[in-house]
Chain A
Amino acid sequence: MMALKNEIGAEILKAIRAPEFIAPTLLMPCAFYALFSLVFNNSTNNSLYLLATYGVFAAMGPAIFGFGIGIATERDRGWLQLKQIAPTPAYYYIAAKLVTTMLFAACALMPIYLIAGFASDITLTQSNWVSLFAVHISSAIPFALIGLSLGLMFSTNGAIAVSNIIFLSLAIFGGLWVPAFVFSSWMQTLALFTPSYHLAELALSTVNATGEYTPITNLLTITMMSILLTVLAIWAWSKGH
């Protein structure tokens, strides 16, 4: 366990020493949320809807970029190969990255919650706040799996490009910026295949906003997607060997 803690410590230290990399993924969701919920807001339900979806958006950034670009870079430099043959189990390396990602996701979420609660006057019961936080922070897991696969499959430059495309697509088609129900029908169909859409629906259900599907359906879909992504990541990992 000491090894895992040290791995996590190293990941955190790495991020802190290169703030220009992690800072945008922490600040952008918060800035977007402030912009859309405070400046462009024109109906009362809007800020609650945006809180649920922008929380997913906030967890997505550190997960996709942290994993995708981080692993690609380390793989390019041969660090990953070193890790794979080192005495510490290889999954410590992944687990440490995941824990760090979730810590950063939490850092990205807090300012959004504070803006929602104290500037947009959103009130939620204690259990609603906690379950919303639980959904948001867990959203990092499927996105981390996506990032992991990308990092294992692409070179650094390729990973930067592809991560950005995937990140923006998941945000837009998942309805994280603009509600999916305003999309044209083909876009709505596409939305169903993104984890972001189902995570957003799940987040909305925790704040008592009704979604298109039941939370159970959303949860099952997410689980299925996560299993598929895990399979993809394992395949990419073994291919890299």
Chain B
Amino acid sequence: MLNKTFWVSTIAVVLTALIVLLILPKPNTEQFDLLIVNANTYSDGEIHPQTDIGISNGIIQQVSPNISGSATTTIDAQGKTLIPGLTDAHTHTFGDGLKQALKFGITNQIDMFTAPSILSNAIKQRLDINNTQNADLFSSGMLATSSRGHGTQYGIDIETLSNPEEATAWVSKRKIEGSDFIKLVYMPHMLHSQNMNSLNKATAAAVIDASHNAGLKAVAHISSQRGAQDMLNAGIDGLVHQFADSEVTDAFLQQAVKQNIFVIPTLSVIGSADHQEFSLSLAKNNLVNKHLNSMQQQQLSSRFHSDKLPGFNYQLAALNTKKMHAAGVTILAGSDAPNPGTVFGASLHQELQLLVDAGLSQSQALNAATSLPNSIFGITKRGHIKTGQRANILILNSSPLDNIENTLDIHTIIKNGVIFNRDAKYEPNATQPAAIKDGQLSDFSNSLTNNNGMRWVKTDDAIRNGKSTVDINLDDNTLYVNANVRSGFVFPWADAGLFTETPLDISQYSQLSFRVRGTKGQYTALAFSEDRTNLPAMQNFKVDERWRTVQLNITDFDSFDASSTNGFALVAANKVGQFEYYIDDVKLH
């Protein structure tokens, strides 16, 4: 009996103690890659003060008031505000755009028309958790437009539509190419020039139906309320611009709310077309300009046309956005970069400011660039700060809920769990560059080569299956270039370049100069260095019939490494047409 009492009591107590010790709460003892502590965290319209965020393998593993795990890197975000990585819901991505966007904390771009050839790579990259140096791209790919319709003027091969019967086959091709949704251009009522054209109403409607049948959303570029009304009647999911030709009617508002469409007003680009000057103030903002290259600086100060375009009344665009928002139409933030007056990245921040000016609260504007676009476009694991999401996070020094301009007051950008170095040039190279012997690069007195082992060569987009051609010749101690730039590749080019086999260290020089004359227009000098995987660094210069000397600062070639130069090229910038030009006296100073 006593023996039994002993066993029963002892086993009962020991077992109870074991169970209690096992069920007592344990901290998450995971070793995190990155731990952000004490942050005011904004996600989905709510701010959570004093939150810790544990990140491993590029994914947010834990969000809680107190994480006691340890981490390789810990950021004390006391007094700072965290927002999800931003989504720009209207861009046209090419070149370095995804990196330029990330420099401003845009971790996702929803592209509204780009070359279909880049889609498969974009999909591969956005699935890759190690894609930490570029924003992720989601895209419509090719757009649905008519022959001579808007979109055909950019030199990208487009399969145009002329009747409703073509819609189903056209959409299924896009789906195979990797389009995430379908964008169509419908602007029969307001064309920007006489020789332009547009999809007709029946074809546009057929494209929308075909998209829906294929399980894709359909969005429309419109330029007038009449166009928007037609699209609404045809069952469009969203409009990718605000119309700015007339004040939105109550009937339109009611129908838009009833059909639950969304609108991406792109006030930035409408403002630029209407000669509003806010992109200039963006370029002057110290939080912005140090992260822009010279091309982008120029981009922000450039305009569409010398005359204001009809149908682009900024006040009406802002008013319509305000009325739509008030009525309950979902508004998303999109910049339409890199159109004139806009740049990748920075312009989305400006768009947020313009949306707040148009009546959205700071919180609603943030949602328009975080949670909303991702849920509407079916983009998963992005746009929120919560467990299981991609660790795309912006740490801001000051709260955007106090002032939306504070989204530019960036402390740290985190892409897929890795701190993005906004100021980094790129990784150091493997090939040992040789020292340059002679700053006198070419006077074309008798050859296309120089003392440094460099040679003038012709380059064109034929290597990318483009259709452009170019000829270069020595002509009277100058270099004669005859380039015929034709549509075919997304960035058609044909030009002359001076290249070296072994990279050269030219860092003792500060300036590149040359003399040039030729077909009038804006040209671009490209600088290539060893480690560039994307587009080369660029600076623009002007050319006309008279000889002129062009002097370019080497340091203005953004993210160009002068210590391992591969060469330079002088090109007629990204325009289709015939160009003849002469180059002479190419020197480094």
Contacts and interface: CB of A to CB of B under 8 A. Distances in A.
B26 A124 contact: yes
B25 interface: yes
Interface in B1-31: 1-7, 9-10, 13-14, 16-17, 20-27, 29
B502 interface: no
A5 B6 contact: yes
A2 to B, nearest CB: 7
Given A12-B9, A123-B68, A129-B21, A110 B16 contact: yes
A103 B26 contact: no
Interface string A82-123: 000000000000000001000100110110011011100111
B6 A9 contact: yes
Contacts of A9: 1-6, 9
B24 A125 contact: no
Nearest to A8: B6
Given A2-B3, A9-B6, A106 B25 contact: no
Nearest to A122: B25
A209 interface: no
A81 B6 CA distance: 24
Given A113-B20, A133-B21, A8 B10 contact: yes
Given A6-B6, A9-B5, A9-B6, A123 B16 contact: no
Nearest to B4: A9
Interface string B129-162: 0000000000000000000000000000000000
Interface in A183-218: none
Contacts of A123: 25-27, 68
Contacts of A5: 2-3, 6-7
Given A8-B10, A107-B13, A133-B17, A121 B3 contact: no
Majority secondary structure of chain A interface residues (helix, strand, loop or mixed): helix
Contact of A124 (B6, B10, B24): B24
Contacts of A129: 21, 24, 26
A13 interface: yes
A118 B13 contact: no
Given A114-B20, A133-B21, A125 B29 contact: yes
A165 interface: no
B424 to A, nearest CB: 38
B2 A13 contact: yes
Given A103-B9, A103-B10, A103-B13, A117 B25 contact: yes
Contacts of B5: 9-10, 12-13
A130 interface: yes
Contacts of A12: 5-6, 9
Given A8-B10, A103-B13, A110-B16, A125 B27 contact: yes
A129 B7 CA distance: 25
A118 B20 CA distance: 11
Nearest to B24: A117
Given A8-B10, A9-B1, A110 B25 contact: no
Contacts of A6: 2-3, 6
Contacts of A121: 25
A79 to B, nearest CB: 16
A43 interface: no
Contacts of B26: 123-126, 129
A99 B3 CA distance: 14
A120 to B, nearest CB: 10
B367 to A, nearest CB: 31
Most chain B beta carbons < 10 A, residue from A8, A9, A10, A106: A9
A12 B497 CA distance: 96
A110 B17 contact: yes
Contacts of A125: 26-27, 29
B349 to A, nearest CB: 37
Most chain A beta carbons < 10 A, residue from B5, B16, B29: B5
Contacts of A13: 2, 5
Contacts of B1: 9
A8 B6 CA distance: 6
A110 B20 CA distance: 7
A129 B66 CA distance: 18
Interface in A123-166: 123-126, 129-130, 133
A2 B6 CA distance: 10
Contacts of A103: 9-10, 13
Contacts of A8: 6, 10
Nearest to A133: B21
Contacts of B4: 9
A144 to B, nearest CB: 17
Interface in A13-39: 13
B49 to A, nearest CB: 14
A99 B10 CA distance: 9
Q: Which 5 A-B pairs have CB atoms at the shortest separation, nearest pair first?
A: A9-B2, A9-B6, A9-B5, A123-B27, A117-B24
11 contacts: A6-B6, A9-B6, A106-B14, A106-B17, A107-B16, A109-B17, A122-B25, A123-B25, A123-B68, A129-B26, A130-B21
Given A116-B24, A126-B26, 18 more contacts: A5-B2, A5-B6, A8-B10, A9-B5, A13-B5, A99-B10, A103-B9, A107-B13, A107-B16, A113-B20, A117-B24, A123-B27, A123-B68, A124-B25, A124-B27, A125-B27, A129-B26, A130-B21
